[in-house]
Structure 1
Amino acid sequence: MDSGVIESGLNVTLTIRLLMHGKEVGSIIGKKGESVKKMREESGARINISEGNCPERIITLAGPTTAIFKAFSMIIEKLEEDISSSMTNSTATSKPPVTLRIVVPASQCGSLIGKGGCKIKEIRESTGAQVQVAGDMLPNSTERAITIAGTPQSIIECVKQICVVMLESPPKGVTIPYRPKPSGSPVIFAGGQAYAVQGQHAIPQPDLTKLHQLAMQQSPFPIAPSNQGFTGIDASAQTSSHEITISNDLIGCVIGRQGAKINEIRQMSGAQIKIANPVDGSSDRQVTITGSPASISLAEYLINARLSTEATGLAAN
């Protein structure tokens, strides 16, 4: 399939997923949703924005190619406008390029990069945009982010060429889409209560407190004595196992230096956590969590908090 298919606007249905920061999304939604409403009406594309209260959001554009690229152009123009307006009060002399991230199934990235990087080099040269394919998959997904920077026109042209490659090489296997998680606030436990640390404040977390208390009464590691006066539950009657898969690239942030992080999670949750050895040809590791339902839930929460912290570049080793 050549780029003429997209240029001539044949009725090929496409989906483009954009990964954006909350501030950028706010600008695209506009006051009372007016901006995104206008984009939907003028382009004819379906524009869906993932749930709020996350540092990152996914904007999904779906529809025929002509509608998609009309909507995409309007989003780029909005981002360009924001850069221009931020420059008015700035002392910077050179205008930064528009930068955008699209999310694609990892199984299509090989075709996009090409043998020895020839395809991505061709796209960079013919469009003038800077294109970078992330080496790692996004947390808990089989998708990778592609960062594109340049002038609005070069970005639009670049995404058109990426779409052509993706139409020619459909994804292989099952794609697990990336779903941004709410910002992983550090959690502390004190006096039988759980608190999320947000800036200078510790905010009580009743749901986590309950999980923590249930896990602690069955834990071989009594960390903080609970002041709730539990009489104890027969843990063996409700022990179960739960498996999760974590990318090899991210397992290190869960294990920590010399196993410090995983031991901390074991102690805090009271669950047993086993990490399988790497399997040849697999980019994932199997993690088995065993314990009471409450301790499994708490262990999984703490592991996900580590992964989301790593994803936002805040993880401390």
Structure 2
Amino acid sequence: FKKCSIAGIEYGRGYCEVERAIARRQGRQLPPDPKVPSGLDPSFNFVDERLLWGTWKNGDNAESIRILLLNLAINHTVQVEYANLEAKVPVYQAESPDEGAFVLAARNLGFSFKSRMMKDITVCLAEGWEGAPVGEGKDETWTVLSTNAFDNNRKRTSVVVRDPTGQLHLFVKGADTSVMPFVDYNSCPYFDETQNHIDRFSDQGLRTLVFAGRKLTEEEYEVWNEKYQEAQLMSEGREKAMLQLAACLEESHEEAGQQSALFDVSVSYRKCLELHGVTALEDKLQENVGDTIAQLAKAMIKIWVLT
């Protein structure tokens, strides 16, 4: 977890390997990255005093930062384990390194994923003072009602959750091309600046993911969930129907005042998502891989990187 963009502001100190390689080719020397403050998890290498230790809580963008960290801490399929009954430091078992990086980032920024019991996720919210132990604070329990897995057409994942007050939320994450088109541009004054950050992160060799969401009404979720339960029982076309319903929920295919149009894929979508932020991950190369690739290129050997 190297950098992120929240409410049009870029966070994350230091340079990635691609930036340093470009600088070397131009004969420039970049300064070393700042050291990660003590007290954080050893494998967490994000540095920015504006986000660490809860310093953001009294700032202008506190709510934007809070909702992104909640999305990171809740919108995933990670399982958590502890070495023993007395252990306080969790061990995260993730389906992918990305999922693990997001949960680890949320933990070190004050929103620690503590446990998953059936549909309930417990998140510990740090009190936010410098030097406080990571993972200690006030526990909140969120209930996961539905999970929509990634597929190659939507290129995103989402969850429907109920917060401790009873409010329903849809949390979405995915590629910029599959999330940004559904963000409500008119209510997002930092949309263009966020897109600039996405482009800059990509130029630096970082992989980006966009996080967004919106609140749901009880009626809206009940109508959608009824259709979703019916799709799960289909003997033919089950997967396609479920993916279509996931897309309709994330894209809000509905017309004002027409309840029958809810989640009808034939109805054009509305730009209704609220932009939570963008994350940028760096794929670390093994030792000497960069020099090896440079030597191969110097020998006029053509190289392709497949992802």
Shared topology, TM-score over 0.5? no
Q: TM-score, normalised by structure 2?
A: 0.28
